[in-house]
Every structure is written in C-alpha cells, then in structure tokens.
C-alpha cells in the first residue's frame, strides 16, 4: 500500500498483526515527496505519477517506479506550476503509437502539460484557441480504440494516430527551439536548411525565427516549405549570432519532423 501524505510518501505491507495496526512500514521506502492534490495521481505500467511538494520545494511532477521516486518535471515546467491553484486538476495517462503519456491539466493556470515517458520530454497541449485541453478522462472501447471525454459536455472523442483534425478543425502544432549559437560567438551565415520529415502531399511547414532572445516584436515573417517535395529545403536565411526557430504545422495530414539539417559558414565577427 502506498500512502501519499501532505509532505511525504510512505509504503506499507500487510503485517498480519493480531492486535493494533495490521500494516507494517516498509523500511527505506519513505520518500520526501508529498501530494499537492489527489486528482493528479495516475498509474501506467506500474509507474505512479503525481504532482508533489515538500517543505523545501515548489510543486514538481514525480514518478514512483519500483518504490523509488524520481522528479520528472524540468525547471521550466516547475516555473509554470509554482504559485498555481490546484483546486481543479485533471490527470490521465495514455499509450499510443509506441509512446506513453502522463497528461496534467491545471485549470486555474489555463495549462495542459504532457510528459512523454518514452522520449522523456514535455510538451504543452491546447484546444484550437490555445487554451487548456478540456479532456478529463480516457478509456478504450471493445476494439481497443482510445476514447477521451470532454470536460463540459461529456462528449466522447477517439484519440487516434489516423485523426488529424478535431471535429473538422485543423490541429495546430507549434515547435519553438532553444536559442542556437553552434557553440560559436562569431556570426553564422545560414546557407541552407533541409527538413527531414514525412513526405506527404499537401503538407506545409511554416517557419520563422528570432535573433533577439524571443522578443515578441522581433520575430520574422513566416515562410512556407512544401513537405510533399522529395527534398524540402530553404536557403539563404541570413546571418545571426544566436537564433531561435518557430515551426508550425496546421493541415489535416500526417506530420512528423525527425530532424533539420543546417549548412552554415562562419562570419568574421
């Protein structure tokens, strides 16, 4: 038995005591991670996830596997969770396409975060307007299709790798990279970018960039690349010292961006 308390987590076993408590404490299995809200607790593949805290830390996402606890939230994720109200929290898990996800929604923060257990990466999931994803639970039907339930009207949806829209609306994917400097303080001339992606007719990838540490007004205009071509690429993309890229895809076709290859030359300053 695993008991999630305010500040700690403890593990008990059936001690078969004839008097007193029938439970005994598993020695060495106490962890200094409490539980912020029971609504964040989910289990998948015998791995337990929840939003935790203790007397020294801000909210974190923790997993327990084989009675060992590990923090899986990164510093950026924890900055999003600090100071939030967890009164209305939804959590669910899903395995699809070879990936397992722990999905957490904090309604007061207008935020849905998904942890990919396979890739050990976080992403943000939204509705078509950029708000939190209003899904509260997941199950499967007799054909083993994943069925998710909407928060407000109880409507059921299939979640499938073959569905590229949401009730007829396009699903938008946004990917924003960290600042990139190629470990060089010198300016870089970006001669060419090749996109290693699924080759699908009608699939268009939009891209823009920012050389000013994500300053909102400094983003370039979007340019478009046809991913249906045999070798989709862009060339002559200017010079930079540090640059972040924003990729966007919004068509109801299969999309997978595996890598972006760049060809650069160094400047003189």
Would you state the structure tokens that stand for residue 217, as one six-digit string?
A: 């007004």
Neighbour-count burial of 51, counting CB atoms closer than 10 A to its CB (0-12 exposed, 13-18 middle, 19+ buried): buried
Please answer whether residues 24 and 13 qualify as being in contact, where contact means their C-beta atoms are separated by less than 8 angstroms.
yes
**211-252 pLDDT per residue, tens:** 999 999 999 999 999 999 999 999 999 999 999 999 999 998
Q: Alpha-carbon distance 134 to 111, whole Å?
A: 10
Same domain assignment for residues 74 and 130:
yes
Do 25 and 118 fall into the same domain?
yes
In whole numbers, what is the pLDDT of the chain averaged over residues?
A: 89
Residue 169 counted as domain residue: no
Statement to judge: residues 180 and 216 lie in one domain: yes
Same domain assignment for residues 37 and 139: yes
Bridge partners, residue 100, by sequence:
95
User: Would you state the pLDDT for residue 171?
Assistant: 85
The per-residue pLDDT for 19 is: 67
Residue whose pair of structure tokens reads 């994500």 in the numeric block = 214
| Structure-block tokens of residue 197 | 């992606």
Q: What pTM did the predictor assign?
A: 0.79
pLDDT tens digits, one per residue of 141-184 = 998 899 999 998 888 988 888 877 777 788 889 999 999 998 98
Give the pLDDT of residue 208: 98
- The candidate with the shortest Cα–Cα distance to 84, out of 63, 102, 101, 61, is 61
Domain ranges, residue 184: 174-266
The count of domains in the chain is 2
Residue 35 placed within a domain:
yes
Q: Considering only CA atoms, which of 255, 262, 266 is closest in space to residue 226?
A: 255
Pair 131, 193 in one domain: no
Residues 6+ apart with CB under 8 A from 19: none
**CA–CA separation, 235 vs 250, rounded Å?**
23
Please tell me whether residues 135 and 221 are part of one structural domain.
Answer: no
- Does 168 fall in a domain? no
**pLDDT tens profile 58-113:** 899 999 988 888 999 999 999 999 999 999 999 999 999 889 999 999 999 999 99
Distance separating alpha carbons of residues 222 and 199, to the nearest angstrom: 21
């Amino acid at each position: 038995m695993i008991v999630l308390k305010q500040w700690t987590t403890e593990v008990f076993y059936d001690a078969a005591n004839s008097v007193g408590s029938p439970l005994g404490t598993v020695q060495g299995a106490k962890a200094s991670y409490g539980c912020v809200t029971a609504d964040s607790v989910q289990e998948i593949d015998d791995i337990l996830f929840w939003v935790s805290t203790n007397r020294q830390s801000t909210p974190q996402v923790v997993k327990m596997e084989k009675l060992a606890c590990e923090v899986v939230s990164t510093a950026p994720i924890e900055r999003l969770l600090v100071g939030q109200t967890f009164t209305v929290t939804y959590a669910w898990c899903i395995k699809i396409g070879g990936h397992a996800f722990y999905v957490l929604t904090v309604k007061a923060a207008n935020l849905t975060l998904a942890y990919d257990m396979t890739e050990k990466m976080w992403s943000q999931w939204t509705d078509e307007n950029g708000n939190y994803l209003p899904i509260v639970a997941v199950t499967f039907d007799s054909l083993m299709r994943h069925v998710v339930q909407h928060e407000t009207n109880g409507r059921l949806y299939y979640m499938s790798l073959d569905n590229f829209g949401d009730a007829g609306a396009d699903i938008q994917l946004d990917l924003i990279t960290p600042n990139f400097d190629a470990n060089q303080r010198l300016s870089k001339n970006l001669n060419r970018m090749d996109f290693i992606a699924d080759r699908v007719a009608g699939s268009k990838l939009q891209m823009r960039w920012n050389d000013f540490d994500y300053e909102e007004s400094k983003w370039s205009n979007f340019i478009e690349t046809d991913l249906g071509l045999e070798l989709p690429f862009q060339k002559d993309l200017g010079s930079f010292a540090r640059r972040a890229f924003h990729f966007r895809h919004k068509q109801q076709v299969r999309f997978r961006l595996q890598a972006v290859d760049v060809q650069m030359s160094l400047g003189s300053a």
